[in-house]
Amino acid sequence: MKKIVLASSSPRRKELLDKYNLSYKIISSNIDEATHIGETPEQITMALAYEKALDVANKLNDNEIIIAADTVVCFDNTILGKPKDYMEAFNMLRMLSNHYHHVITGIAILKANTDIKIIDYEKTKVVFRQLTDKKIKNYLETLEYKDKAGAYAIQGKGEVLVKGIEGSYSNVVGLPITKLEMLLEKHFDMSLL
């Protein structure tokens, strides 16, 4: 039986994995998520996912398989992180209103005590509907925006802000399940089902 470790304390990633018959434990990484200057959002998310996985792998010694991810919201080549406060969240949602943006998740899978490392990413296009200031304020009153890149949660009440998506829904939540399954099958002879 292969030992799986999720290198994330994200409740959303845990919820996504819990749908499958996968026994795993959670060990959070302690890396500094300072932005990588001069890199694309894809490069940044893959680098951060790898750094998270490596940080956790260095604490293990039993050939565990470590899964790590990093998700960003990218609008017009600008990364929108987690809003610092209500006004920043309001401005983010106003900017995303009636436009599309991309959600990019870097994913890294490492096998502890080996040189096996798989790094990839998933990119999903999200289209927001036209939002009034009142709609944005109503959403912000739910407090769901806190600790969410781009100031919304598609798996929660933020779903009403979204007109449509092209690509992986689970990627927008924070872990591209289909991509993860394909990488686990191809490189680790494992399946989520």
Active site residues: 70
Give the N- to C-terminal CA distance of the chain in Å, as an integer: 15
Q: Do 55 and 29 contact (CB within 8 A), yes or no?
A: yes
The C-alpha atoms of residue 192 and residue 180 are separated, in whole angstroms, by: 9
Report the candidate in 103, 94, 104 with the shortest Cα–Cα distance to residue 139: 94
DSSP 66-116: EEEEEEEEEETTEEE---SSHHHHHHHHHHHTTSEEEEEEEEEEEETTSS-
- Backbone torsions φ then ψ of 137, nearest 5 degrees: -60, -40
Are the C-beta atoms of 57 and 103 separated by less than 8 Å? no
